[in-house]
Structure 1
Amino acid sequence: MIGNDLVPSSLTNSPDMEFCDDLLVEIFSRLPFESLARFKCVSRSWRALISGGYLRRRLPLLAAGLFVHVPRDGDSAGGGGEPRYATACAGGGGLEFCDMSFFPLVETARVVDACEGLLLYRSVESASELFVASPATRRWAALPVPRREAQLPLLAFDPASGSPPHYHVVCFVAWQERGATVDVFSSASGAWAERDAAFGVDASSLSPTTHYRGGVLHVLAYPDRVVLMDLATAMAPCRLAPRLPEDIDAGARLGHSRGLLHYAKCDGERLRVWALDSSSSSPGSSCQWILTNTVRVNDVIINGGRWPVTEVKFLAFHPDIADVVYLSSPAGEVASCDLRKKEIVSSWKLGAEHHIVRFWLLSFSSGLMNCLGVASNL
């Protein structure tokens, strides 16, 4: 079942063994990835099953990570509240808040960013003291103090970038006319490095909307550009992606699906998605944005009837299925939607009191196990 290098052949051919492993896979596929991290310690056979390629090939489901604001007692939804990290199975199920008691500074530091299962904290007493914590592995690390005060710190982490994967922290320390001086921390080197980033656009046009993939930080810049900052290559210049097909607004998001960069624009009632097509091999040809889907919320169906939602917020792209995206409603419902079929694939209820700040998906097949291995960098 899981390979002759892990168990004797007499067992891999046993029907009882096959049923046992299939049952475990079904159970594992419905667990948040914090539980998978803990269950690796149950036994050698469980560790081999969770860490091996067998499980990754058998699990089509995703683990969803959410960073939400939870109102304090007596507060209305979206007012005040505290930021909390939670996980849920993207195929449905409830919300499980993570216990951050392993991080001793949780009461004296606040979260300033979150990315793909990692949290970036900054001390409330000193803006230069930064910490990265992994709720999945219950590990944390204090970053070296940068030479200059950290401004606008961003966390960049791609769990599919390697084994073990590395993360970066980017701090903008001085603004220039069409760029900035940035300090970049790499967990691979354990040190900060100064870089001059020439954006190719006015620095004031940069938006807070970012996306990190394959060592490149993508930043939306008003009115219609995407700045590409290569963090994996030292001193690499910034680049500009082709102009976006429509101007950026509050509902605009970037993401990757099936290896292609996608751009989504959602006004609440209508969602449009473009993919950056680089398949042309003709001499002199360039990448271009191709419209792939246009969907109105009132056209979406669920269980054979109309989805009783009039407004949505775009959350994320499915990493492996280009037509599937994740949306949220004002009532606190999160749903995966097949845009081509205009149909809700699955959904689960968070509650209107939970305001989603960050949302990400970890594919079991191409990211989850590496994310569990990030403890070696903390």
Structure 2
Amino acid sequence: MATGSMEAALMTDPTIKVPDDLLVEVISRVPYKSTCCCKCVSTRWRDLISHPDHRKKLPRSTLAGFFHTTSATGDHGYLSVSGSWCPHDASLSFLPEYKSLQILDGCNGLLLCRGRKSSVPETLDDPKTLDYVVCNPATEKWVTVPATKWSWLVDSACLGFDPAVSSHFYVFELVPALAWTWYKRDDYSIEAVGIYSSKDGVWTHPTVLDNPIEIFYLSGGVFLSGVLYLCSNNNSVTTVDLEGTCRSIPIPTSHDAPGGPDVYVSRGQLYLTIQGASELSFWVLEDSISENCWTLKLNISYLRLFGIDYSSSGRFYGVISAHPEHNVIFIIKEFISRCRSLRKLYSYEMDSGELHFICDLPRNSRLPYLSYVPLFSESLADGH
């Protein structure tokens, strides 16, 4: 290629010298919607993304389904909602064998699990009888994260992972009051946060909070732009950054909300749902710095949402997730039929106002329902 032609090519495509395999690996780390946009960069990018040999590594769908708990002991199942893809091994049998394995959280295609090597440790501060495991069900790769002396006492741990930024992940261990006072267990009062970085391979020393975080049981947390967001029961969302620094963001209040709020990530923004006694409101975080940072996205009554079905016996179970790429939320409604409870999963399109029935839920399924977006990248930092 002539010098002038080469210079012109570099100006139009600065990645021209990047090998195809490396470029595919980079593209595989971005969300599905961004992958579609990558086809417009150049004919080379379009051909690489469309090539049959590369489709396995690139995201082919967004939300594929939900992992969920099936028993009080931590057994789990998988519910497909897209019909286009599901894990080859939803039981996660490719992981090391443990006495029990519990899925704690999911983030951008990875799952955070806790594996117990024994039913009860000899001492509660013995980390050798327990592991955290981070795995990718799409590639069946996994990484063991060492437990801490607090891990047997922890009910909540969250995963932070952004494949568009790095193949490395973070585990947030939310340490309850018992770990520090040793006299009373309080599942809701978080007095310290420990953070594990797969890049550094170590836990930071737990950050003792000035004011304990009162979090809602099973409300979970979400990770966005290097920050973990948790719902507190004092009308606020608590943020924890990668340095362990915490702050509180006030949220809109509802005088008739029977349960706690929940947070979700969709299209790169943080969303908040507040379930009142008769209506549902959906808010988006416009500015995490400002005190008046929430914008109302949706306010709809359950009667309008479900029509005549809302008056049937049963209850509104709640919003369980938001679609990562579309303006859609997922809702569970419970019905009572012939003296037994039936739970149904729906999707609600906020732009069109249309409610769609997806499926009946297995009778043994229970919270939390963890959104699963397949990640086809082979990379998992130091993975097996």
- Shorter-chain TM-score range: 0.5 to 0.7
Counting only pairs closer than 5 Å after superposition, residues 126-165 of structure 1 correspond to structure 2 as: 126=121, 128=127, 129-134=130-135, 135-148=137-150, 150-152=152-154, 153-160=156-163, 162-165=165-168
Aligned position for 1:84 = 76
Answer whether contact 1:91 1:346 (CA < 8 A) is retained: no
Answer whether contact 1:314 1:328 (CA < 8 A) is retained: yes
Closer/same/farther in 2, CA of residues 345 and 119 from structure 1, 3 Å limit: same
Q: Distance in 1 between matches of 2:325 and 2:349?
A: 13
Report whether the alignment pairs 1:318 with 2:329. no
Counterpart code for 2:157: L
Answer whether contact 1:68 1:356 (CA < 8 A) is retained: yes
Q: Distance in 1 between matches of 2:383 and 2:321?
A: 26
Answer whether contact 1:327 1:335 (CA < 8 A) is retained: yes
The alpha carbon displacement at 1:268 in A equals 6.9
Q: Distance in 1 between matches of 2:231 and 2:20?
A: 46
Identify unmatched segments of 5+ residues in structure 1. Answer: 8-24, 26-43, 71-79
Q: Distance in 1 between matches of 2:305 and 2:143?
A: 44
- Match for 1:300 among 301, 305, 308? 305
Aligned position for 1:100 = 92
Report whether the alignment pairs 1:253 with 2:227. no
Aligned position for 2:105 = 114
Answer whether contact 2:64 2:84 (CA < 8 A) is retained: no
Closer/same/farther in 2, CA of residues 99 and 294 from structure 1, 3 Å limit: same
The alpha carbon displacement at 1:228 in A equals 0.6
Answer whether contact 2:158 2:220 (CA < 8 A) is retained: no
Q: Distance in 1 between matches of 2:304 and 2:144?
A: 49
Q: Distance in 2 between matches of 1:277 and 1:111?
A: 34
- Match for 1:288 among 288, 293, 297? 293
Share of identical aligned residues, percent? 17
Closer/same/farther in 2, CA of residues 82 and 243 from structure 1, 3 Å limit: closer
Q: Secondary structure at the match of 1:329?
A: strand
Aligned position for 1:341 = 352
Answer whether contact 2:346 2:356 (CA < 8 A) is retained: yes
Q: Distance in 2 between matches of 1:188 and 1:375?
A: 7
Closer/same/farther in 2, CA of residues 141 and 309 from structure 1, 3 Å limit: same
RMSD after superposition? 3.9
Counting only pairs closer than 5 Å after superposition, residues 148-297 of structure 1 correspond to structure 2 as: 148=150, 150-152=152-154, 153-160=156-163, 162-172=165-175, 174-175=179-180, 180-198=191-209, 201-203=211-213, 205-208=214-217, 209-213=219-223, 214-231=225-242, 234=243, 236-246=244-254, 250-267=259-276, 269-278=278-287, 286-297=291-302
Counterpart code for 1:277: E
Q: Secondary structure at the match of 2:352?
A: coil
Counterpart code for 2:279: R
Q: Distance in 2 between matches of 1:308 and 1:217?
A: 37
Q: Distance in 2 between matches of 1:335 and 1:202?
A: 36
The alpha carbon displacement at 1:273 in A equals 0.8
Aligned position for 2:11 = none
Higher mean C-alpha deviation, range 140-149 or range 335-344: 140-149
Closer/same/farther in 2, CA of residues 268 and 164 from structure 1, 3 Å limit: farther
Normalised TM-score (structure 2): 0.66
